[in-house]
């Protein structure tokens, strides 16, 4: 739980304008953190409007390129769970 020294955030990548080959390349490069040699087996995509619609903010930091953080998660676990479920409903899953 956030205690004033921690911030809840979620790591994401912005893929607008990429081909699917480009999306898979990002997914493979970032699967399970750096240094992994396992390819990604799936991705989930969600539109930015859905993210802002549940009260989160997208903070691009481009480290690595196209990377961003989803910020604004509530400190209440039940609220975070509802927001995550709303995003999951809005997302499209793509399996390799």
pLDDT class of 35 with cuts at 50, 70, 90: low
Query: Taking the model in full, what pTM does it have?
Result: 0.82
pLDDT at 39: 84
Domain ranges of the chain: 9-32+45-95
pLDDT digits (tens, 9 = 90+) for 67-88: 999 999 998 989 999 999 999 9
Backbone angles phi, psi at 92, to 5 degrees: -110, 125
Per-residue b or e along 33-42, where b marks 16 or more CB atoms closer than 10 Å to that residue's CB: eeeeeeebee
């Amino acid at each position: 739980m956030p205690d004033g020294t921690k911030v809840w955030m979620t790591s994401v990548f912005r893929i607008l304008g990429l081909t699917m080959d480009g999306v898979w390349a990002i997914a493979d490069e970032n699967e399970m953190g750096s240094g992994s040699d396992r390819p990604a087996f799936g991705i989930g995509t969600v539109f930015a409007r859905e993210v802002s619609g549940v009260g989160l903010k997208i903070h691009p930091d481009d480290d690595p390129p196209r990377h961003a953080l989803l910020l604004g998660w509530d400190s209440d676990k039940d609220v975070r769970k509802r927001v995550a479920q709303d995003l999951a409903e809005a997302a499209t899953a793509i399996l390799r």
